[in-house]
Chains A and B, each alone.
Chain A
């Protein structure tokens, strides 16, 4: 199905993402530069916001992109219940746009962190984690602002509603502070919106989608996303 992959100035993961999506049966990605505005999103069955450094991460990561006209189109897609996924900078943009609660703050270490981590699929029952019950996935992260933060009420809501999709964990699947790579609240690595159709996550599933890359653990998430674009 038609998947709009949005590129802002500074986005740099769009080619990896397009390649993986095209390799998944039913995935028909097309690139939409931000300056084309929301128009080209009208025919999309789903939206993918890849990672990168939109607008140089100036102001706050994702902040400038989040107020672009094209985001109005993303909001419409989300409202229509179609799947929207934001990876890394895409997650930061979705949070800044208010499509997901909370904010991604600078890493606790104040450094850019680029490494493989273990990810535990959590209590969530969203389309993105189907077939991944309590799985431990090996997927890389690469970010300077991945420290998820939200109010206590929001955290309570996210946990209560089963909206935490992924947590950073150790090899046994335990979300310990030792393996928290960025200081995220409650080891949160990915969350969904109330309706479950919008996912934001800091780790890069597209970088763990082929054996030659070192892991194929991310592929299932992307396959779930493509499948969801086909749902009536």
Chain B
């Protein structure tokens, strides 16, 4: 099998059986600080592979599209070939790691709501934080895909948090990568394991790569423990939650908007002389039965063409987050 890409802890290989798929091989390496710290731990690849298989399968059962197809001997997994987006997505529930250093706050502070952040994938720059606006202005990812990634990150956060909560563990934060498949679907790619998330027990002790980063414990036995814990969970009893999206419909520019005109007159009467124009549109809150997928996104566009919008006179915008 020829190597497509040699990562720090994984190898991406051509799938000899299908050009639609690739094979990801988990090595025994563990790195931290962008490879500044590196070690080989016998059995680590197997553990990361098994945890990834478990979690991607679980997310997929909850309706989240991932690149995972099946597990092979190896430790390897077969995945859909996907062009990886140039930003990675981090979702945080509790302050830890770079978030604490960035804002000078203590490890363990609860965030009022889950926070989604984007990081530019660039090893030379050390994967810096990047704002959504910058992602769009640099045309790295479009607005719709950003909204999609945020929505999925929050869904993943919900399902993983619920799963770990069954075993009294706290999901602190995690990283996701997204890729676009040949048939245009945006899917969760890469691995989801102790290497890509922080998990704490009730005492605030880590069961993840922080043990290696901080030389604070035995990573291998933590990963054995993590896999053990996952196998004790009952993913089936976690219900699929609904997700909310919004559709904004506006009268096209150039088309008179009488409701807006009379509203403006009312505002002027009330003394708001600076109101130059008011245009009245509509907002639809649409609650979906399951997490967003690329085909649901296409469905939302169709809903607009078929009913929500009259394209002769109106424009629409689907807001995912």
Binding site for B on A (CB under 8 A): 59-60, 63-64, 67, 96, 102-103, 105-110, 147, 149-151, 183
Bound CA–CA A194/B266 (angstroms): 43
B297 close to chain A: CB less than 8 A: no
A63 to B312, CA, bound (A): 13
The one of B251, B256, B308 in contact with A183, judged by C-beta atoms closer than 8 angstroms, is B256
B-side residues, CB < 8 A to A, are 251, 255-256, 258-259, 261-262, 306-308, 310, 312-313
B258 touches A106 (CB 8 A): yes
Q: Assess whether A149 is in contact with B258, with CB atoms less than 8 Å apart.
A: no
Q: Is the CB of B258 within 8 A of A96?
A: no
Is there an interface contact between B312 and A102, defined as CB atoms closer than 8 Å?
yes
State whether A60 touches B310 (Cβ < 8 A).
Answer: yes
With contact pairs A108-B256, A110-B258, A183-B256 given, residues A103 and B312 touching in the complex (Cβ less than 8 Å): yes
Complex Cα distance A96/B314, Å?
13
Task: Report the nearest A residue to B257, measured CB to CB.
Answer: A106
A63 to B304, CA, bound (A): 12
Assuming the contacts A103-B313, A149-B312, asked whether A110 and B307 have C-beta atoms less than 8 A apart, the reply is no
A106–B313 alpha-carbon span in the complex (Å): 11
Pick from A59, A67, A102, A109: contact of B258, CB under 8 Å: A109
Cα(A59)–Cα(B313), bound, Å: 13
Q: Please, how many angstroms separate the alpha-carbon atoms of A144 and B153 in the complex? A: 45
Kindly list chain B residues whose C-beta atoms are within 8 Å of the C-beta of A103. Answer: 310, 312-313
A-chain residues with CB within 8 Å of residue B313 when the two chains form the complex: 103, 105, 149
A59 and B262 within 8 A (CB): no
A63 to chain B: closest residue by CB: B307
- A96 to B310 CA separation, bound complex (whole angstroms): 8
Residue pair B255, A105 in contact (C-beta under 8 Å): yes
Q: How far is the CA of A149 from the CA of B258 in the complex (A)?
A: 14
A110 touches B259 (CB 8 A): yes
B310 nearest CB neighbor, chain A only: A103
- Please tell me if the beta carbons of A108 and B258 are within 8 angstroms of each other in the complex: yes
B312 and A150 within 8 A (CB)? yes
Q: Bound state CA distance, A67 and B303, in angstroms? A: 11
* Contact partners of A59 in chain B: CB under 8 A: 307-308
Query: Could you jot down 20 A-B contacts, CB within 8 Å?
Result: A59-B308, A60-B310, A63-B310, A64-B307, A67-B307, A102-B312, A103-B310, A103-B312, A103-B313, A105-B251, A105-B258, A105-B313, A108-B256, A108-B258, A109-B258, A110-B258, A110-B259, A149-B313, A183-B256, A183-B258
What 9 A-B pairs are tightest by C-beta distance, nearest first?
A110-B258, A110-B262, A103-B312, A106-B258, A103-B313, A103-B310, A110-B259, A108-B258, A67-B307
CA distance A105 to B256 in the complex (A): 9
14 more CB-based (< 8 A) A-B contacts, given A60-B310, A103-B313, A106-B258:
A63-B307, A63-B310, A64-B307, A103-B310, A105-B255, A105-B313, A108-B258, A109-B258, A110-B258, A110-B259, A110-B261, A110-B262, A147-B258, A183-B258
Q: Point out the residues of chain A lying under 8 angstroms from B251, CB to CB.
A: 105
B residues less than 8 Å from A60 (CB atoms)? 310
Are B259 and A106 in touch, CB under 8 angstroms? yes
Contacts of B255 in A (CB 8 A): 105, 149
| A56: min CB distance to chain B, Å | 15
Q: Specify which chain B residues have a CB less than 8 angstroms from the CB of A151 in the assembled complex.
A: 312
A12 and B33 alpha carbons, distance in the complex (Å):
72
Instruction: Output the least CB separation between A146 and chain B (Å).
Output: 12
Contacts of B262 in A (CB 8 A): 110
B19 to chain A, nearest CB (A): 41
How many angstroms from the CA of A223 to the CA of B16 in the assembled complex? 74
Q: Which residues of B contact A110 (CB under 8 A)?
A: 258-259, 261-262
**Can you name the residue of chain B whose Cβ is closest to the Cβ of A109?**
B258
- B306 near A67 with CB under 8 A, answer yes
Contacts of A64 in B (CB 8 A): 307
CB neighbours (8 Å) of A108 from chain B are 256, 258
- Give the shortest distance, in Å, between A205 (CB) and chain B (any CB): 26
Chain A residues contacting B306 (CB-CB under 8 Å) are 67
Cα A109 to Cα B258 in complex, Å, equals: 6
Shortest B308–chain A CB gap in Å is: 7
With both beta carbons as reference points, the residue of chain B lying nearest to A183 in the complex is identified as B256
Rounded to whole angstroms, the CA-CA distance of A147 and B256 in the bound complex is 10
Q: Which residues of B contact A102 (CB under 8 A)?
A: 312
Inter-chain CA distance A103–B311, complex, in Å, is: 10
Taking the nearest CB of chain A, how far is it from the CB of B255, in angstroms? 7
Inter-chain contacts of A149 with B (CB < 8 A): 255, 312-313
A147 to B262: give the CA distance in the assembly, Å.
Answer: 16
